[in-house]
Amino acid sequence: MELQNKHIVITGGASGLGLAILRRLEPNNRISVIARPSGGLDALREEFPKISIQEADLADIAAVERAANALVKRGDAIDVLFNNAAVQFTPRFTDPDFRYETIRREIDVNFTSVCALIHLLLPQLMQAQSAMIVNINSGLALAPKAGSAIYCATKGALNIFSQSLAYQLEGTSVSVKQVFLPMVDTKMTDGRGGGKITPEQAVAEIVAGLSATARTSTLAR
């Protein structure tokens, strides 16, 4: 699919990879962003006054429902849904600074909200002549590490869910794709690892891959 003259919905579009996707695609497309309230959204409104912004903490499923319903009520078809937003908490279960309450937040942001948004926005996706659901994933879905066990589990769940959903949507106008990324230089990865790629490099490869593929379900770098 050529990403031109499309209505594109991006979660977590106020920073990091989501913001890089927005900047790359905004000049030639109509963009809607779903992101948690923050100062970054104010900057986003100033830089991109034409985009639509729905404020929602993706850990709050009621807020996710409100954001999705607002998009549905507009009646516009959605050509591409980028499920990009994610959080990662690094303490291990055995660490003294591990916080029990982060378990639910990590699962809800990284996985539950993705399932909810896809279900709620599927009618708008099916209105498009050809639509894509693009789930941004990680190599940790396939090869988990010792730290961030919940994050790795949510990415593993996203992988299986994406494959199953692709089977469910066979024969429809909606395809499901995953992007398995190496470590990207964002706020999430501050102080961790080396050999990172920039968000702009990641987006360039994502866009090239989506433009080149037909209905295959996975893009890997």
The CA distance from 127 to 173, in Å, is 9
pLDDT tens digits, one per residue of 103-120: 999 999 999 999 999 999
The CA distance from 65 to 45, in Å, is 22
* pLDDT over threshold 60, residue 217: no
Q: What is residue 96's predicted lDDT score, i.e. its pLDDT?
A: 97
The CA distance from 1 to 183, in Å, is 26
Cβ atoms < 10 Å from Cβ of 157: 17
Decide if 151 is catalytic. yes
Tokens of 118: 């896809």
Cβ atoms < 10 Å from Cβ of 3: 18
* pLDDT over threshold 60, residue 63: yes
- With a CB cutoff of 8 Å and minimum separation 6, the contacts of 164 are none
Asked if residue 10 lies in contact with residue 17, where contact means CB atoms within 8 angstroms, the answer is no
Over range 78-99, report the average pLDDT. Answer: 96
- Catalytic annotation, pick one of 36, 151, 152, 184: 151
Q: What is residue 216's predicted lDDT score, i.e. its pLDDT?
A: 44
Q: What is residue 221's predicted lDDT score, i.e. its pLDDT?
A: 44
Residue from 79, 76, 71 nearest 55 by CA: 71
Query: With helix as H, strand as E and coil as C, how does 143-209 read?
Result: CCCCCCHHHHHHHHHHHHHHHHHHHHCCCCCEEEEEEEECCECCHHHCCCCCCCECHHHHHHHHHHH
pLDDT tens digits, one per residue of 131-166: 999 999 999 999 999 989 999 999 999 999 999 999
Over range 25-30, report the average pLDDT. Answer: 96
- With a CB cutoff of 8 Å and minimum separation 6, the contacts of 15 are 40, 186, 187
* pLDDT over threshold 60, residue 102: yes
Q: What is residue 218's predicted lDDT score, i.e. its pLDDT?
A: 56
DSSP state of 28: G
Q: Which amino acid is at 158?
A: L
The CA distance from 85 to 219, in Å, is 18
Q: What is residue 192's predicted lDDT score, i.e. its pLDDT?
A: 64
Return the CATH fold of 7-220. Answer: Rossmann fold (3.40.50)
Domains of the chain, residue spans = 7-220
Q: Is 72 helix (H, G, I), strand (E, B) or coil?
A: helix
Average model confidence (pLDDT) across the chain: 92
Q: Which amino acid is at 5?
A: N
- With a CB cutoff of 8 Å and minimum separation 6, the contacts of 156 are 140, 141, 142, 144
DSSP state of 109: I
The CA distance from 71 to 79, in Å, is 13
pLDDT tens digits, one per residue of 30-58: 999 999 998 889 999 999 999 999 999 99
